[in-house]
Amino acid sequence: MRYALRRALHSLLLVAAVSLLSFLFAELAPGDFFSEMRLDPRLSPATIDAMRAQRGLNRPLPLRYLAWLGSVGRGEFGYSLAYNSAVGPLLVQRIPGTLLLTATATLAAWLLALPLGIWAASRRRAWTATALNGLLALLLSIPELLLAVVLLLFAAQTGWLPVGGMHSTGAESLSAAARLLDTVRHLAIPVAVLVLGMAPVLIRHVAAAMREVMDAPFALAARAHGVAPRRLLFRHLLPAALNPLVSLFGFSLGTLLSASLLVEVLVGWPGLGPLFLEAIFARDFALVLGVVMSSALMLIAGNLVADLLLYRVDPRIRVQ
């Protein structure tokens, strides 16, 4: 319990520090939403100054940070000048899309990586393992960007899978089951890209971690005592190999969120990615800040969950 509290507090502090730093960085940035307007000869500088004053952009920095914190407290996360709306609701619309994509991909990648990694670790000299290794190395060097475009092209030409978005047009009128199937069909390509990008890394790490514990004296002792292979794997080897894998989970989450941003933009998935890009091009700093903070929250929360899980399954941490 104390461990959980400490980790939670640490995560909170991290979020607070990230918010402060990104806010400061946004404030130090040259230009803002109105700076492009200054080029417009029809608007006098006085008008623009008045518009900035109306938005509170000319107040001193600490006051603005406090105001921003207040609006975070109200769930608004500042005011988006490009969308003329509070940032919070905009984020709330998009976060489920990103979460759905990332969570599905994380699950699929790990479900694929664990058995394959264990399999590769147990057959390290076999030609099949060598072939798998070569395939993984090739997959690792194909940019996700290329992978996504090629898959989309394939889908467009065969017509087997929908090419973009999250729902077909008119999906609202379908029955619940048909809607679910529709979403799953839309998920297939983005998830495939993310899994193909992430799984090779995971498989290699699972294999490395498993190899290490398989070579450990305790594994030999257990085998010598006649522990059944299945029990050996699930009761002895996997728990011992779990520690590096859980830190890998946090890492994989960050990578998947990043890759997901790109894939969302490519397939027009209604997640944070396209919103982020629009905000950047519109110089809508409040929205940029909101998206950055949401991504940090997702990653930090994911890491916290991983830490707590590790605490449950790995007794070594409880002793420390």
Q: Are 197 and 258 in contact (CB under 8 A)?
A: no
The CB-of-245 to another protein minimum distance in angstroms stands at 11
The CB-of-308 to another protein minimum distance in angstroms stands at 17
The CB-of-28 to another protein minimum distance in angstroms stands at 8
CB-nearer residue toward another protein: 195 or 253: 253
**Structure-token match 């190395």, residue found:** 137
Within 8 A by CB and 6+ apart from 189, the residues are 148, 151, 152, 155, 161, 163, 267
**How far apart, in whole angstroms, are the C-alpha atoms of residue 254 and residue 256?**
5
Contact characters 84-123, another protein, x per CB under 8 A: ----------------------------------------
CB-nearer residue toward another protein: 179 or 185: 185
Binding flag, residue 206, another protein (CB under 8 A)? no
Binding flag, residue 14, another protein (CB under 8 A)? yes
Binding flag, residue 283, another protein (CB under 8 A)? yes
- Alpha helices, H only, the chain: 2-28, 45-54, 61-73, 87-122, 127-140, 144-158, 176-214, 217-224, 229-231, 238-267, 272-281, 285-313, 315-319
In this structure, how many other beta carbons lie within 10 angstroms of the beta carbon of residue 160? 10
How far is CA 297 from each of CA 121, 188, 315, rounded to the nearest angstrom? 35, 26, 28
The CB-of-224 to another protein minimum distance in angstroms stands at 26
Stretch of residues binding another protein (CB under 8 A), selected from 39-47, 60-68, 70-78, 204-212: 204-212
Contact characters 284-313, another protein, x per CB under 8 A: -x--x--xx--xx-xxx-------------
CB-nearer residue toward another protein: 219 or 304: 304
Binding flag, residue 255, another protein (CB under 8 A)? yes
Binding flag, residue 80, another protein (CB under 8 A)? no
**How far apart, in whole angstroms, are the C-alpha atoms of residue 229 and residue 232?**
5
Within 8 A by CB and 6+ apart from 282, the residues are 33, 81, 82
86 three-class SS: strand
Q: Are 156 and 148 in contact (CB under 8 A)?
A: no
Residues engaged in binding another protein (CB under 8 A) = 14-15, 17-18, 21-22, 25-26, 28-31, 137-138, 140-143, 145-146, 149-150, 152-153, 156-157, 163, 201, 204-205, 208-209, 248, 251, 253-255, 257-259, 261-262, 265-266, 276-277, 279-281, 283, 285, 288, 291-292, 295-296, 298-300
